[in-house]
């Protein structure tokens, strides 16, 4: 009976030890997990731009739709990542950036493809406005994400 009780105590202590130290979050792994999702979220940009340059609007729309679907999936994955030691700032900035990407792809690129489909009837001012908005929104999202990533790295570098 005594051996059985000692075994239970040892097993319990081992479980507590594993739960306490085995679940320690690593800032590098956390950063990499988020950045892997973020980096994959722009993979379709070149294909979309190439289709637009070739004026292959059917392909451009197909790429845009596929990209939109991937962004929704990436956003779900990102939202499923837990906070880092109670700090959600880096994850939240990443979610915000992905939501911006999704808005660009689902609205701005969609409108740009529609306008390009009008040919000579398209309003060149509106095309320029849409292009400027796309570029500005991408830049703002990237800058916000980079700032959050830098802050996260500085705050948790020593851990």
Domain spans of the chain? Answer: 25-156
Average pLDDT for 34-49: 94
69-108 pLDDT tens trace: 999 999 999 999 999 999 999 999 999 999 999 999 999 9
Residue 106 is classified by DSSP as I
97-155 pLDDT tens trace: 999 999 999 999 999 999 999 999 999 999 999 999 999 999 999 999 999 999 999 99
């Amino acid at each position: 009976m005594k051996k059985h009780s000692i075994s239970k105590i040892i097993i319990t202590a081992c479980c507590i030890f594993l739960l306490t130290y085995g679940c320690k979050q690593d800032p590098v792994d956390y950063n990499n997990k988020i950045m892997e999702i973020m980096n994959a979220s722009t993979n379709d940009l070149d294909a979309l731009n190439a289709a637009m340059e070739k004026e292959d609007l059917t392909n451009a729309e197909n790429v845009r739709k596929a990209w939109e679907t991937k962004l929704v999936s990436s956003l779900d994955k990102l939202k499923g990542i837990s906070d880092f030691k109670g700090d959600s700032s880096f994850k939240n900035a990443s979610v915000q950036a992905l939501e911006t990407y999704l808005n660009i792809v689902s609205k701005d690129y969609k409108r740009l493809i529609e306008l390009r489909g009008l040919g000579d009837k398209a309003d060149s001012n509106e095309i320029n406005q849409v292009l400027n908005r796309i570029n500005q929104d991408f830049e703002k999202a990237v800058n916000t994400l980079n700032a959050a990533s830098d802050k996260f790295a500085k705050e948790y570098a020593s851990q």
